Amino acid sequence: MALFVFWVLISASFEWIHLGLGLVFSFAVAWINSGHSLFVPKFRLWLRILLYLPWLFYKIIESSLYLSKLILHPALPIDPQLVSVDSKLRHHAAVVLLGNSITLTPGTITVEVDSNKLIVHAMDKVLSEDIESKQIESKIADIFKDEEPDL
Amino acid sequence: MDILSIIFIVAGLFFMIVAAIGVVRLPDVFSRSHAVSLTDSLGAFLMLVGIAFHEGLGKNTLKILVVLALLYILNPVIAHATIRAAFRSGVKPWQKKSS
Amino acid sequence: MTTFFFYVMVLLAILIGAYLYRVLQGPTIFDRVLGLNGISTKAIILFIVIGTYSERVNMFIDISTGYALINLVGALAVAKYLEQKGLP
Amino acid sequence: MIFPFEIPLLLLLLVTAAGAILVKDLMSAVLLLGTYSFFLSLVWGWFGAVDVAFVEAVVGAGLGTVLFLLTLFGTAPKDTRLHRPPPSLLTLIVFPLLGFLLLYAASDLPEFRDPSSPASVHISPTYLEQSYQDTHTPNVVTAVLMDYRSLDTMVETVVIFAAGIACILLLRRQVK
């Protein structure tokens, strides 16, 4: 289904023949690959993730400005360090979302994931404390609060 | 509308220039990847939004947003894969010299 | 507006030069992979800017979508190879 | 359009090609070839040949890199570092001469984007005006490739197909 939406978006033509071909092929591809799909999100979850995105974007801007200041500083006052984080999340999808958010935020990057333990490389003391204060994690735990745990 | 798009594109360019300086200046793989992710997340976002403003509403803007979403989904995956490969094959992160 | 986009293009090409320095110079192989990743992101944006400059965005945007996907495949292949083989 | 944008792109191409030749490591050479394909695809895009750019990006940057890596992965060389002998004297004489001859020949060609050159006086306008009536294909390049030159394209495809079958026959594993 999602593939069909993607087809419509990239072809951007709304004639019947294109729509029909797209429908056939997207269902074929989805049917071939159906063994992989572990996680089928529900509608309310999508809504919550959409509401989470603006906050994540605010975080991205904040830490981008901080990182730009670090890079442009003539003395290069960086202090990179590895931080190990134990998260309390109980879902594969939630851990994936957490890792993606951490990597997407400039200044921090996920190095290693082992079920729900993450090793994070942070650029500075301030940024690593930001990770350890677990703001992002509590937000994500809030998103997934009434799903079945599978980890 | 044009002024808005110019503002967005110039801001995006600023972040890209900072990221390029960082890629040249920083000492090791791990910290360089931060600079690359800076471009990917904010620079690309601002520039593509600027171009979308220039285009106005329509199919093209929709496609630009699709490219943006693709970048946002795929780039963390690439950065994570590269960094994990670096970590597992034993590259030591650069440490600040302890005084 | 057109001249503005032209200057943006030239500036992006110069920035690609900075990444190319990292690809050529990089002490480890991972620096090169990172530089390649940055170059491809730049190339995606440069394609869209070229499309806007020549006012045919609808043609160029398909390539940039393809670019993003291909970049993923290439980078994942490199990362998997290096993870199994270790440092050369 | 006073400053030609292809000049910085060509500079990047030259630097990348020289780097791919001079670099000491096989992996890095593969990566630099991928970068080279990216730049080449940008050049095609700037000239307006969008489908060529697409093919270059897919085949050169994506498929080429992955195939090279698979080869490295399958052959598992102990040492991926390259040892180059210094170039011989004959090479140093012949190749600059060849390059000079090519440049000399190219100076005879009509100016790029010249409206009065023979190619743009009667060949291109004919195609541009009549291809849609002849073939009902909206893209002129596709019309030329698939309709006017369809036999050529078909035989090319046959050659590539034969090469693919030969590769599969050579590389397949014996099942016991």
Express each pLDDT in A33-88 by its tens digit. Answer: 655 555 555 666 777 777 778 888 888 888 888 878 877 777 766 777 777 777 77
Q: What pLDDT band is residue D120 in, cutting at 50, 70 and 90? A: low
**Contact yes or no for C18/B24 (Cβ under 8 A):** yes
**Contact yes or no for B86/C87 (Cβ under 8 A):** no
Sequential pLDDT tens for chain C (88 residues): 777 888 888 888 888 888 888 888 777 777 888 888 888 888 888 888 888 887 776 777 777 777 778 888 778 887 777 777 655 4
Helix (H, G, I), strand (E, B) or coil at A121: strand
pLDDT over 50 (residue D96):
yes
For chain C, the maximum distance between any two Cα atoms, rounded to a whole number of angstroms, is: 50
Task: Identify the H or E element spanning A85.
Answer: strand A81-86
Stronger pLDDT, C76 or A140, i.e. the higher one:
C76
Helix (H, G, I), strand (E, B) or coil at A37: coil
Which residues, at least 6 apart from B23, have a Cβ–Cβ distance to it below 8 Å? Answer: B32, B35, B36, C18, C19, C22, C34, C35, C38
**Structure-block tokens of residue A63:** 């830490």
Q: What is the mean pLDDT of residues D56-76?
A: 79
Phi-psi category of residue D113: left, alpha or beta, with phi > 0 → left and psi -120 to 50 → alpha? left
CB within 8 Å: A121 and B95: no
Distance (Å) from the alpha carbon of C58 to chain D's nearest alpha carbon = 11
Please give the backbone phi and psi of residue D2, each rounded to the nearest 5 degrees, phi first. Answer: -85, -45
User: In this complex, does chain A touch chain B, defined as having at least 3 beta-carbon pairs under 8 Å apart?
Assistant: yes
**Contact yes or no for D42/D54 (Cβ under 8 A):** no
In angstroms, how far is CA C24 from the centroid of its own chain? 15
**Structure-block tokens of residue A139:** 């937000």
List the single range of A139-143, C19-23, D159-163 with lowest mean pLDDT.
A139-143
Residues in chain A: 151
Q: What is the mean pLDDT of residues B16-27?
A: 81
pLDDT over 90 (residue D172):
no
User: In this complex, does chain D touch chain A, defined as having at least 3 beta-carbon pairs under 8 Å apart?
Assistant: no
CB pairs under 8 A between B and C: 131
Give the dihedral sign, CA C37/C41/C42/C46. Answer: positive
In angstroms, how far is CA D96 from the centroid of its own chain? 22
Q: How far apart are CA A65 and CA A54, in angstroms?
A: 17
pLDDT over 80 (residue D11):
yes
Phi-psi category of residue D76: left, alpha or beta, with phi > 0 → left and psi -120 to 50 → alpha? left
pLDDT over 50 (residue B98):
no
Interface test with B, best of A71, A79, A83, A131 (most B CBs within 10 A): A71
**Contact yes or no for A132/A83 (Cβ under 8 A):** yes
CB within 8 Å: C1 and B81: no
CB within 8 Å: C20 and D57: no
Instruction: Give the residue extent of every domain in chain A.
Output: 2-36, 43-143
Q: How far apart are CA A135 and CA B1, in angstroms?
A: 36
- Give all chains having 3 or more CB-to-CB distances under 8 Å with chain C: A, B, D
In angstroms, how far is CA A92 from the centroid of its own chain? 12
Q: What is the mean pLDDT of residues D16-37?
A: 83
**Structure-block tokens of residue D144:** 């030329």
Shortest CA distance from A11: residue in chain C: C62
Contacts of A112 in chain B (CB under 8 A): 84, 87-88
Stronger pLDDT, D97 or A134, i.e. the higher one:
D97
**Contact yes or no for B41/A64 (Cβ under 8 A):** yes
**Beta-carbon count within 10 A of D80 CB:** 17
Q: What is the DSSP string of C30-68?
A: HHHHHHHHHHHHHHHHHHHHHHHHTT-HHHHHHHHHHHH
Q: What pLDDT band is residue B99 in, cutting at 50, 70 and 90? A: very low
Instruction: Give the residue extent of every domain in chain C.
Output: 2-85
Question: What pLDDT sits at residue B28?
Answer: 76
Q: How far apart are CA B63 and CA D149, in angstroms?
A: 33
Question: What pLDDT sits at residue D98?
Answer: 92
DSSP letter (8 states) at residue A33 = T
Contacts of C60 in chain D (CB under 8 A): 45, 50
Q: How far apart are CA B11 and CA B50, in angstroms?
A: 9
Give percent above pLDDT 70 in chain A. Answer: 56
Contacts of B89 in chain C (CB under 8 A): 82-83, 85-87
User: Looking at chain B from residue 48 to 87, which residues have their Cβ under 8 Å from any Cβ of chain C?
Assistant: 48, 51, 54-55, 59-60, 63-64, 66-67, 70-71, 74-75, 77-79, 81-86
List helix spans (H) across A34-116.
Answer: 43-72, 92-104
Which of A80, A112, A119 is the closest to B31 by Cβ? A80
pLDDT over 90 (residue D158):
yes
Instruction: Give the residue extent of every domain in chain D.
Output: 1-83, 115-176
Closest by Cα among C49, C69, C72, C34 to C3: C49
CB within 8 Å: B23 and C35: yes
Question: What pLDDT sits at residue C55?
Answer: 73
